[in-house]
Amino acid sequence: MDSATLHEEIHSFFESAPPLKESAKITDKLNRFIHFDSPSPGKGRRVVCVTSGGTTVPLEQRCVRYIDNFSSGHRGAASTEYFIKAGYKVILLYRRGTCQPYCSSLPEDPLLECFELADDSDFRVRQSHSEAVKGAIMNHHAAVAGGLLLKLPFTTIFEYLQMLRIIASSMKSLEYHAMFYLAAAVSDFYVPWKSMAEHKIQSASGPLDMRLMQVPKMLSVLRTEWSPSAFCISFKLETDSKILLEKANMALKKYKMHSVVANELLTRKEEVTVVTENGNISVRRDKTRPGSEVEDPLVELLVKKHSTYINDAIAQDL
């Protein structure tokens, strides 16, 4: 596809999308977070936008049904913790209801399982969960109060791409210190808002025949226009290992990514392959350490690559 057609498709995607609620408030939050809300603000501070969870594609404007993309949000939540540990400020663009940073040791329904009634009018943390709850609250509080974590939720593909565009524009001025870590599972197909049924589609009308349009690939405009100096990592998910690396390599070249993290659905928590221009690097979870996560060595590797990228950019500027 030539660049004029892609731009036209992107333009029409955003033109026809329902307006993003509170976009001015989001922009304001982002600008404060990126430039001010930190004990040591400034251009040298590294900021990463981590995207996490799957986008939905509504089938009706007053949405009753939608198509969903698989992602628990674990990759994004765990990676956020490791980026913060490495000194980054993290903008976490996450799907509502998916895994959150610092919550992995809490039960699935924390409110009901972590607390118990003390008497008729009061409640307390259950003894068995008190360490986990304390740890989660302290870590989360330290990250937010220290100006290191800003969480922004999305649900639909429209919200996700509109928010990604706003975030990228806000991060543009950070130049090489910005990073995008695009772990969200993004829909490839969608129903344009204007051709979408307003009300619930009726089953009495017989089998449903629906045409889905292709979501324009925004990765290349993110790289070339929205935030052209940022270090960009995208993810490639496949269920067939035979095509995974080839597809990741294609994405690397087509969208000019700095690395593509290739993962297979079934083994994604054990190993990933970081595909780069200079070859592939396999990254595995350290099985000898109980509770270790593949995101730990993955983020470590990407942080090193980002450092090299920044140093090269500074050397070129001199």
What is the contact surface with ligand 9Z3 in residues (CB under 6 A)? 71-75, 182-183, 185-186, 234-237, 263, 268
Nearer to ligand 9Z3 (CB atom), residue 157 or residue 166: 157
Judged by beta carbon, residue 34 or residue 252, the one nearer ligand 9Z3 is 252
DSSP category for residue 120: T
User: In a 3-state reduction of DSSP, which class is residue 61?
Assistant: coil
Q: Closest approach of Cβ 286 to ligand 9Z3, in Å?
A: 18
Tokens 């302290």 sit on residue: 138
Distance CA 139, CA 224 (A): 36
In the bound state with ligand 9Z3, the residue whose beta carbon lies nearer, of 74 and 306, is: 74
To the nearest whole angstrom, how small is the minimum distance from the Cβ of residue 302 to ligand 9Z3?
13
> Do 284 and 271 contact (CB within 8 A), yes or no?
yes
Number of H helices, E strands in the chain: 9, 14
Handedness of CA 240, 6, 227, 152 (dihedral sign): negative
State how far the Cα of 152 lies from the Cα of 142, in Å rounded to an integer.
18
- Our CB check for ligand 9Z3 shows the closer of 266 and 315 to be 266
Q: Cβ 68 to ligand 9Z3, closest distance in Å?
A: 12
Give the tokens for residue 65. 């049904």
* Residue 107, CA distances (Å) to 67, 111, 113 in order: 27, 9, 7
Smallest distance, ligand 9Z3 to C-beta of residue 4, A = 23
* Beta strands 231-238; 259-264: pairing state: parallel
Q: Between 60 and 225, whose beta carbon lies closer to ligand 9Z3?
A: 225
Strand, helix or coil at 224? helix
Residue closer to ligand 9Z3 (CB basis): 236 or 258: 236
Cβ 275 to ligand 9Z3 shortest distance, Å: 12
Helix or strand run (H / E) with residue 118:
strand 115-119
Q: How far is the CB of 104 from ligand 9Z3 (least distance, A)?
A: 11
